[in-house]
Structure 1
């Protein structure tokens, strides 16, 4: 089992010293990766399920945050949980992700993409909310095509994106393309992970039966697409207080990575929580 941490900029803030300190301590504790979330824009009345998002929460840009964290650390991998891929142009996104990967010496390796749930956010960036699934599929295909292409250029003609003989450099460090994990809480997300993903990172509010069904759907969809289901990562949210028995139960469900977060906004308490978790599971 691998263990990672999440840093919630909306609740922990974007003070650079606090963010860097959290990331450095997580690295020192032996956590594998550092995740940050994304909302491009929120608005009064925006809700996720039954939860209303306070409009003044500071959702910092995740890739800018990860580039900053990379400069403050040495080993910890960089992840998004999740990047709202339909709201990014994939030609620009391919360049940004490869740049962060090169500058971090190959650590931009836990990109997780999702669709977003706020219609007003989609409208703000000029995206038809109903098309965001198809846009996400194309975007994943485009970034991979650009990463794999050489000096001769690559071409693409899709429903949303089109170009001819395009070159995108720099490339991700030492690999043809960065892993792309798929996040979400729907069966459509599970199928997308099976068809296109390098892993699945479902939401935290699913009932056990639905969660198991979705992971089975990821695997069966991968098999149907001629892909190896055993090559896919299965990432789940966990609690900073979780026990060894809880981790073992996750492992029995096929989980390969658990992402936890400190529950306190106080930096000293955050460090204590991360240290306690690391000691409990022998990280480092």
Structure 2
């Protein structure tokens, strides 16, 4: 089992000293990765399920934030959980992600993308909320096309994006494309993960039966697409107080990575919680 950790600026703020100290401590404790979420814009009344999001929540740009984390650390892998892919132009996004990967020496490797659930956010980004799934599918294809293209350029003519003989450098460090994991809590997200993703990161309040069904859907979709279903990584959320027994249960469900959310809000308590988790699971010592 691999263990990542989440830093959410919406709750903990955008203090650069605190973010750097949090990331360094996570790295020292032996956490594999650090994940950050995204909202591009909020508005009064915006809600995820029954939970209303205060419009003043300070969601930082995830790619810029991860670039900052990369500069403050040496080893920890960089992840998004999740980046709202339909609201980004893939040509620009490909450049930004490859740049962070190169400057971090190959650590921008846990990009998790989702569709977004706020119609007002889609409208603000100029995206038709109803077609954001198809837009995300095409964006994944464009990202990989650009990362894999050579000096002769690549051409794409799709429903949402089109270009001819396009060259984009720098390339990701030492790989033909960056891994793309798919987040979500629907069967459509599971199918997208199987058809196009390198991993599946479901969220939501799903029961065990639905989670098992979605993992099966993802693996079946991978087979139908001519891909190896066993190569699909399976990531789930966890908490800082998890027991080895709980992690073992996740492993039995096929989970290969757990991303930990901490209960503490202050840095010193977060450090203590990280250190205790690392000791409990033998990750290392800070």
TM-score range for the pair, normalised by the shorter chain length:
over 0.9
Q: CA deviation at 1:208?
A: 1.3
TM-score normalized by structure 2? 0.99
Corresponding residue number in structure 2 for 1:20:
20
| Preserved contact between residue 36 and residue 81 of structure 2 (Cα < 8 Å) | yes
Structure 1 stretches of 4+ moved >6 Å: none
Given the alignment of the two structures, is residue 146 of structure 1 paired with residue 140 of structure 2, yes or no?
Answer: no
- Mapped to 2, the partners of 1:192 and 1:129 lie a distance apart of 17
| Preserved contact between residue 204 and residue 236 of structure 1 (Cα < 8 Å) | no
SS of corresponding position for 2:282: coil
| Preserved contact between residue 204 and residue 237 of structure 1 (Cα < 8 Å) | no
| Two-structure CA RMSD over aligned residues (Å) | 0.5
- Mapped to 1, the partners of 2:96 and 2:157 lie a distance apart of 22
Corresponding residue number in structure 1 for 2:54:
54
| Preserved contact between residue 85 and residue 114 of structure 1 (Cα < 8 Å) | yes
Corresponding residue number in structure 1 for 2:63:
63
For residues 135-159 of structure 1, give each alpha carbon's deviation from its aligned partner in whole angstroms, at most 9, with x where no partner exists.
0000000010000000000000000
Unaligned runs of 5+ in 1: none
For residues 81-129 of structure 1, give each alpha carbon's deviation from its aligned partner in whole angstroms, at most 9, with x where no partner exists.
0000000000000000000000000000000000000000000010000
| Preserved contact between residue 184 and residue 204 of structure 2 (Cα < 8 Å) | no
- Mapped to 2, the partners of 1:231 and 1:262 lie a distance apart of 29
Corresponding residue number in structure 1 for 2:279:
279
Q: CA deviation at 1:205?
A: 1.3
| Preserved contact between residue 13 and residue 58 of structure 2 (Cα < 8 Å) | yes
- Mapped to 1, the partners of 2:226 and 2:20 lie a distance apart of 42
Unaligned runs of 5+ in 2: none
TM-score normalized by structure 1? 0.99
Given the alignment of the two structures, is residue 207 of structure 1 paired with residue 207 of structure 2, yes or no?
Answer: yes
- Mapped to 2, the partners of 1:240 and 1:87 lie a distance apart of 31
| Preserved contact between residue 151 and residue 167 of structure 2 (Cα < 8 Å) | yes
Corresponding residue number in structure 2 for 1:216:
216
For residues 35-71 of structure 1, give each alpha carbon's deviation from its aligned partner in whole angstroms, at most 9, with x where no partner exists.
0000000000000000000100000000000000000
Q: CA deviation at 1:206?
A: 1.1
- Mapped to 1, the partners of 2:207 and 2:262 lie a distance apart of 23
SS of corresponding position for 1:238: strand
Given the alignment of the two structures, is residue 194 of structure 1 paired with residue 190 of structure 2, yes or no?
Answer: no
- Mapped to 1, the partners of 2:41 and 2:208 lie a distance apart of 32
Corresponding residue number in structure 2 for 1:43:
43
| Preserved contact between residue 182 and residue 192 of structure 1 (Cα < 8 Å) | yes
Q: CA deviation at 1:17?
A: 0.4
Corresponding residue number in structure 2 for 1:168:
168
- Mapped to 2, the partners of 1:205 and 1:25 lie a distance apart of 30
Q: CA deviation at 1:268?
A: 0.3
- Mapped to 2, the partners of 1:205 and 1:22 lie a distance apart of 27
